């Protein structure tokens, strides 16, 4: 048998193709994590039928000369028959063209050498036994636990990674362990192996080191470094699959600690502020036609504190629809303008920008001379030089020129990119992000990265009942609509498309519906009800007219695309129905739901997924049934979709969270566990 693992060397070669995985230094090869392990320790040498899914590893000699041919469908195949120690026989089929494989099998037959195969299970077929989904196992793997690596399709094969690590992994361990520890536990004493581990790091390590492996004494950093090396070695050269999995979990948790430290360091990397002298906000508050809630006052005071600091503000304002977010950021913006600063309020739509513009000037007419609504850029139209309170969409950012902003509000932050937000911070602009449901990346920075958050309590006595319907229940949906209409309430129906389509997407989704299709069906089903539609393909004047008719009661049921996700404020809108609900994210659905019962009472949000929809999508929609708290929705959304990339320069706002560990992204459970360990250790 060939030596296993191959002879190790202390000289590290260039990474070669492994650099395509994102590695920059040779020792980082040890930070490539396997996907799993194959247990080749105990091959069967006699054969009997087994259940599907009960993976088997077999050995034997090739009883007859290998047969090369084709299946009935013309697929190339190689067939061999193994003979076990008890003379039982097992047929193995390998598919595809592989001349080297076939030549090796013929050679092994001629030499009566033992060969090894792995398969899904052994199935009887007539008088023969067949190994299903067979793969040949190289003989050096026999008797070992072998890690499996993912590779990168078309760039680097799993076998290339495996061969590299089996040869060089021990030489990689010192550098890899040090890099991992420096990111996970950035203690100053780490450079001295004879120094004691500090109390905070020790508290975190206790969440990683099994109790039976701990002596109770305070270890030296050198001991910890050696322990991490051993864990990395066990990942790649495990004695058992269980040992490999346990070591892989330890390394994954260390990687999660590194991600948390990167996220937490973002607050310290904020720029120096351009502005730190806002005027008192209390005079502006007394001009409002309503009283501020306790949570609104607290949020304003928190923002004012940030504005007086030398570093730029990076705060998130979270509150459900109707909690008064606009009043909080408008008062804060007005205090900056009163103090001589310049402000931009960015909103997700021009319609919402118009609404906020009107509200601010209605509250404070004296700001008329310094306030400008900035619409889509037009040739020859510049922002007036005296305008210091700018309100518009992201188009506003492209029209600023050399103008410096003291303070920027981003309303509905999920509509803007990480790059747009980070650029403002780099320029010394205070930043307040406003949302009902933070995007996963922001939620992770709030929970794990020390990004400060101000939360608003809802102060309208509303209750929204969210229900998830399937196709057989849709009669109940119409019954609910009739009940709402009998109470003289408005009904909103949201569709994913504005018009009928015969695209491939529609064919794949089965019953994907459009506003225009729905309008015909609804008018037929409710002939005595005034029904209209609005969508992005209509001219602004047409949309405004349709919305006005809906607002004043001329229209009772309005069909729309998701353009109503933000900014719609209808007093008597008490029911929203979302068709093909799985097409929307949780954030968008919560925003749509927020249009209901704006002024109190019991409202309804009915979710109608497509006829063909997977269980993961139904589980996601169930989140909305279980909670109406936008912050909790955001937290559950983060857990379902992933936190995204938490590094400062990153753009991914959801999905997998990369770390110093290659091949295994950070699972949310590890982020949560390690954050809890950090908190406990710091007490």
Helices (H), 449-537: 474-486, 504-509, 515-525
pLDDT of residue 504: 35
pLDDT greater than 90 at residue 217: no
Mean of pLDDT values over 101-118: 93
Q: How confident is the model at residue 506 (pLDDT cuts 50, 70, 90)?
A: very low
Beta 371-374 vs 389-392: how paired, if at all?
parallel
Secondary structure (3-state) at 302: helix
Give the Cβ contact number of residue 393 at 10 Å. Answer: 19
Cis peptide upstream of residue 271 (ω within 30 degrees of 0): no
Mean of pLDDT values over 544-552: 87
Q: Which residue has the higher pLDDT, 336 or 500?
A: 336
CA nearest neighbour of 303 among 344, 331, 283: 331
pLDDT greater than 60 at residue 7: no
Q: Which residue has the higher pLDDT, 678 or 650?
A: 678
pLDDT of residue 654: 65
Query: What is the C-alpha to C-alpha distance for residues 244 and 249, in angstroms, rounded to an integer?
Result: 9
Q: What is the pLDDT of residues 281-327, one digit of tens each?
A: 999 999 999 999 999 999 999 999 999 999 888 898 988 877 889 99
pLDDT of residue 363: 97
In this structure, is the dihedral angle defined by the CA atoms of residues 85, 87, 93 and 94, taken in order, positive or negative?
A: positive
Mean of pLDDT values over 161-187: 88
pLDDT of residue 385: 77
Mean of pLDDT values over 6-27: 77
Pair 543, 534: CB distance under 8 Å: yes
Alpha-carbon distance values, 217 to 197, 199, 204 (Å): 10, 12, 15
Mean of pLDDT values over 436-460: 78
Q: How confident is the model at residue 640 (pLDDT cuts 50, 70, 90)?
A: confident
Mean of pLDDT values over 144-160: 87
pLDDT of residue 459: 64
pLDDT of residue 510: 40
Which residues is 603 bridged to in the sheet? Answer: 464
pLDDT greater than 60 at residue 6: no
Alpha-carbon distance values, 207 to 201, 221, 237, 264 (Å): 10, 16, 24, 20
Pair 441, 263: CB distance under 8 Å: no
Cis peptide upstream of residue 5 (ω within 30 degrees of 0): yes
In this structure, is the dihedral angle defined by the CA atoms of residues 313, 407, 565 and 507, taken in order, positive or negative?
A: negative
pLDDT greater than 70 at residue 216: no
pLDDT of residue 361: 96
Percent of the chain past pLDDT 90, that is, above it, reads 37
pLDDT of residue 483: 92
Beta 135-137 vs 343-346: how paired, if at all?
unpaired
Instruction: Mention every residue, 6+ apart, whose C-beta is less than 8 A from residue 598.
Output: 321, 322, 460, 462, 569, 570, 571, 573
Q: How confident is the model at residue 649 (pLDDT cuts 50, 70, 90)?
A: low
pLDDT of residue 628: 86
Burial profile 264-295: b = 16 or more Cβ within 10 angstroms, e = fewer: bebeeebbebbbbebbebeebbeeeeeebbeb
Which residues is 643 bridged to in the sheet? Answer: 655
pLDDT of residue 648: 58
Residues in the chain, how many?
683
pLDDT greater than 90 at residue 118: yes
What mean pLDDT value characterizes the chain?
84
Pair 580, 494: CB distance under 8 Å: no
Alpha-carbon distance values, 72 to 75, 76, 503 (Å): 7, 10, 36
pLDDT of residue 423: 65
Q: Maximum CA pair distance of the chain?
A: 98
pLDDT greater than 50 at residue 507: no
Pair 45, 59: CB distance under 8 Å: yes
Q: How confident is the model at residue 508 (pLDDT cuts 50, 70, 90)?
A: very low
Beta 76-83 vs 67-70: how paired, if at all?
antiparallel
pLDDT greater than 80 at residue 210: no
Mean of pLDDT values over 533-542: 81
Which of 351-360, 405-414, 566-575 has the weakest average pLDDT?
Answer: 566-575
- Taking only Cα atoms into account, the Rg of the chain, rounded to an integer number of angstroms, comes to 32
pLDDT of residue 563: 59
pLDDT of residue 124: 92
Query: What is the C-alpha to C-alpha distance for residues 275 and 255, in angstroms, rounded to an integer?
Result: 38
pLDDT of residue 521: 85
Pair 603, 329: CB distance under 8 Å: no
Mean of pLDDT values over 86-101: 92
Pair 663, 149: CB distance under 8 Å: yes
Mean of pLDDT values over 443-459: 79
Q: Residue 323: exposed, middle, or buried by beta-carbon count in 10 A (0-12, 13-18, 19+)?
A: buried
Query: What is the C-alpha to C-alpha distance for residues 525 and 70, in angstroms, rounded to an integer?
Result: 59
Q: Considering the entire predicted model, what is its pTM?
A: 0.69
pLDDT greater than 70 at residue 214: no
In angstroms, how far is CA 192 from the centroid of its own chain?
A: 38
Pair 50, 121: CB distance under 8 Å: yes
Pair 314, 396: CB distance under 8 Å: no
Q: Residue written as tokens 């209390």?
A: 282
Query: What is the C-alpha to C-alpha distance for residues 531 and 408, in angstroms, rounded to an integer?
Result: 40
pLDDT of residue 509: 37
- Helical pair 668-682 and 241-265, crossing angle rounded to 10 deg: 70
Sheet of strand 314-318, all strands in order from the earlier edge strand to the far edge: 371-374, 389-392, 343-346, 407-411, 430-435, 314-318, 453-455
Query: What is the C-alpha to C-alpha distance for residues 661 and 679, in angstroms, rounded to an integer?
Result: 23
pLDDT of residue 379: 47
Q: Cα-flanking dihedrals φ and ψ of residue 644, to 5°?
A: 80, -165
In this structure, is the dihedral angle defined by the CA atoms of residues 666, 670, 675 and 677, taken in order, positive or negative?
A: negative
Retrieve residue 492's tokens.
């909103």
Pair 573, 490: CB distance under 8 Å: yes
Q: Residue written as tokens 């929307």?
A: 584
E-strand spans in 308-348? 314-318, 343-346
In this structure, is the dihedral angle defined by the CA atoms of residues 408, 413, 417 and 422, taken in order, positive or negative?
A: positive
């Amino acid at each position: 048998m060939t030596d296993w693992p191959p002879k190790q060397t202390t000289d590290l070669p260039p990474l070669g193709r492994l650099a395509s995985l994102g590695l920059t230094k040779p020792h980082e090869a040890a930070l490539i994590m396997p996907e799993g392990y194959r247990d080749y320790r105990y091959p069967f040498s006699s054969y009997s039928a087994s259940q599907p899914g009960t993976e088997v590893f077999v050995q034997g000699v090739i009883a007859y000369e290998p047969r090369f041919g084709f299946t009935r469908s013309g697929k190339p195949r190689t067939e061999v028959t193994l003979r076990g120690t008890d003379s039982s026989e097992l047929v193995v089929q390998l598919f595809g063209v592989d001349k080297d494989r076939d030549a090796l099998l013929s050679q092994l037959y001629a030499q009566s050498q033992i060969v090894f195969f792995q398969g899904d299970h052994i199935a009887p077929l007539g008088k023969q036994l067949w190994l299903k989904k067979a793969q040949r196992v190289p003989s050096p793997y026999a008797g070992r636990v072998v890690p499996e690596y993912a590779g990168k399709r078309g760039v680097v094969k799993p076998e290339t990674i495996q061969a590299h690590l089996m040869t060089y992994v021990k030489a990689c361990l010192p550098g890899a362990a040090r890099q991992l520890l420096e990111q996970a536990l950035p203690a100053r004493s780490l450079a001295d192996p004879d120094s004691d581990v500090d109390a905070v790091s020790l508290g975190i390590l206790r969440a990683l080191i099994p109790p039976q492996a701990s002596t109770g004494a305070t270890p030296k950093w050198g001991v910890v470094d050696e322990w991490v090396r051993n864990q990395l070695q066990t990942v790649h050269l495990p004695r058992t699959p269980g040992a490999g999995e346990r070591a892989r979990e330890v390394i994954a948790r260390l990687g999660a600690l590194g991600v948390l430290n990167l996220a937490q360091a973002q607050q310290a990397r904020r720029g120096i502020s351009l502005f730190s002298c806002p005027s008192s906000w209390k005079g502006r508050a007394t001009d409002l036609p309503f009283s501020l809630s306790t949570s609104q006052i607290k949020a304003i005071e928190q923002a004012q504190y940030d504005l007086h600091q030398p570093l730029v503000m990076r705060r998130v304002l979270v509150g459900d629809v109707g909690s008064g977010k606009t009043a909080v950021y408008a008062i804060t913006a007005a205090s900056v303008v009163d103090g001589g600063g310049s402000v931009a309020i960015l909103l997700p739509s021009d319609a919402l920008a118009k609404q906020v513009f009107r509200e601010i000037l209605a509250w404070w007419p004296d700001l008329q001379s310094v306030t400008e609504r900035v619409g889509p850029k037009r040739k020859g139209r510049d922002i007036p030089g005296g305008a210091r309170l700018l309100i518009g969409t992201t188009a506003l950012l492209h029209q600023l020129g050399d103008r410096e902003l003291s303070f920027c509000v981003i309303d509905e932050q999920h509509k803007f990119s990480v790059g747009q937000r980070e650029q403002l911070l780099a320029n010394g602009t205070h930043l307040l992000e406003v949302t009902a449901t933070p995007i996963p990346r922001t939620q992770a920075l709030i929970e794990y990265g020390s990004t400060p958050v101000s939360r608003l309590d809802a102060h309208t006595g509303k209750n929204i009942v969210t229900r998830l319907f399937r196709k057989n229940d849709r009669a109940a949906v119409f019954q609910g609509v009739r009940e709402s209409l009998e109470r003289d309430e408005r009904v909103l129906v949201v569709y994913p498309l504005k018009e009928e389509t015969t695209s491939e997407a529609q064919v794949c989704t089965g019953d994907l519906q459009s506003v225009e299709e729905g309008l015909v069906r609804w008018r037929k089903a409710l002939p005595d009800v005034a029904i209209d539609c609005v969508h992005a393909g209509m001219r602004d004047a047409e949309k405004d007219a349709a919305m006005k008719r809906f607002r004043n009661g001329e229209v009772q049921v309005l069909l729309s695309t998701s353009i109503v996700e933000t900014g719609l404020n209808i007093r008597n809108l008490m029911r929203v129905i979302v068709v093909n609900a799985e097409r929307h994210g949780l954030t968008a659905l919560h925003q749509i739901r927020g249009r209901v019962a704006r002024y109190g009472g019991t409202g309804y949000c009915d979710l109608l997924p497509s006829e063909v929809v997977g269980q993961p999508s139904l589980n996601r929609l169930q989140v909305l049934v279980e909670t109406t708290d936008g912050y909790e929705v955001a937290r559950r959304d983060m857990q379902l979709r992933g936190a995204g990339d938490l590094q400062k320069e990153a753009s991914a706002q959801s999905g997998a969270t990369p770390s110093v560990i290659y091949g295994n992204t950070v699972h949310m459970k590890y982020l949560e566990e390690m954050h809890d360990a950090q908190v406990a250790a710091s007490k």
